[in-house]
Structure 1
Amino acid sequence: MKKFLFLLSHIIFGLFTAQNQLHIQYLNVRSTVANVYEDLYTDGKHVISIQNGNVMWTNPSFDTKKKGVDRYYISNLSTEERNFFFTTRLDDVGDYFVYDKIPQFKWSIDKETTKKILGYNCFKATSIFRGSPITAFYTEEIPYSVGPFKFFGLPGAILDVRVDNKNYDLWKAVKITLNDDSKIDYQPKFPDYQKVNMEDFVKLKDKNYASNKAIVAGSTSKTVSVRLGVEKVFEWETQSSDSVK
């Protein structure tokens, strides 16, 4: 039976790699008032996720009808630590093309807890990602180690992932195309964007956030008490803390 399942898994993987391209569209609930679509594509080697700049506001008074800038998350298919390149914008500062090395996720898989998503059988997995406890559901029926944003490392595609005990900072698949024929550039160039590594970008982002917060509060304080989004604590910060001990 084990030999049969092993052979079957290789046959399934072969069928998928014979496909032109996988496309998974996610709804990303970015905050309590803003949602965006994120489209992930892979050709079996390269991976790119594109967050649509057209924000869907839950409060109509926030909707200016002005399209924002798409965000790109670019990597190669791998179960080891993964190199990401992504685009982002800091208000009043500029556009950045950031290099970020993500350590391999330490997933805890629970095959007793399952969920059906878009017709696919999914298993539960949990981990901690940069200070945030997360829960994901992935399917081995799509045997690519991919997920939205910077999530990866499970033996199948992640179709739902979210920060625990929150109703935002979550991604859920809303559409899957196994043989997608879209023309995708997996290595787009951003010549007008400032190139920076993740550590330097985080420092710049923290400083920018603290400055804006101080202006709003009428204070000169530069202290950042909280980081928005999923990523709260980074590897170089925990390493620095460990070295002090």
Structure 2
Amino acid sequence: MLPREPVDSAQIPGGGTLELVRHGKDYIIMLGRDELMGTRMQFSEEQLAELTLDRLDVPAPRILIGGYGMGFTYRAALARLPKEGRVVVAELVPEILDWAKGPLADLTGNTLDDPRGRVEIEDVSDLIGDASDRFQPLYDAILLDVDNGPDGLVRGDNNKLYSRTGLARARDALNPGGILAVWSAGPDPQFARRLKNARFEVEERVVKARPNNKGPRFTIWFARKASLTEQASDS
């Protein structure tokens, strides 16, 4: 059995340590004994972007991604994004970008130089708050993959994203017809109810870890804000 070789580590603001390890030809980002993501299973993170963009009918979508990780969601979004579209990634741990440009450079390619995208070292909740308070333009989609689901495993402060107040702010940060998409390691009926109570139209989708249908299954919620026409009919 191949050993896992430590490559580097990084502190998470507020506590906790991420570790990048090599396992043969593959890389894994660990939190303690938990595997947060790895190069062997990236399909569901790509699906987070691809399935969201499939559900948007916007010529030049403006996308916010919470968490860069290994860049799977970011690269998948760029691959589907029209020339006029824009993607902003909020990443809290600066070393993640060092890994993207260093040990994971072959995986990253030239995507960090794509003029349609940028990565900001920032808490995604702050960028959501700026949009909901109208300090910056609204988003057509917000994609959250900052934890193993709506439970703040990686960082306790992330719980605010999934609270009633956090979901209301996310809804206010979206354009009419916009989508809040949330990746999770498993189902969570209580969170699905919170999304509906926050006045989202909710679709729950089970996605595969790998395109060959092997490995675990994950959950993505697509929470859609009503369009202007739908809002008018409800008033």
TM-score using structure 2 length = 0.25
TM-score using structure 1 length = 0.24
Q: Which structure dedicates a bigger proportion of its chain to helix?
A: 2
Q: Which structure dedicates a bigger proportion of its chain to strand?
A: 1
Q: Larger Rg: 1 or 2?
A: 1
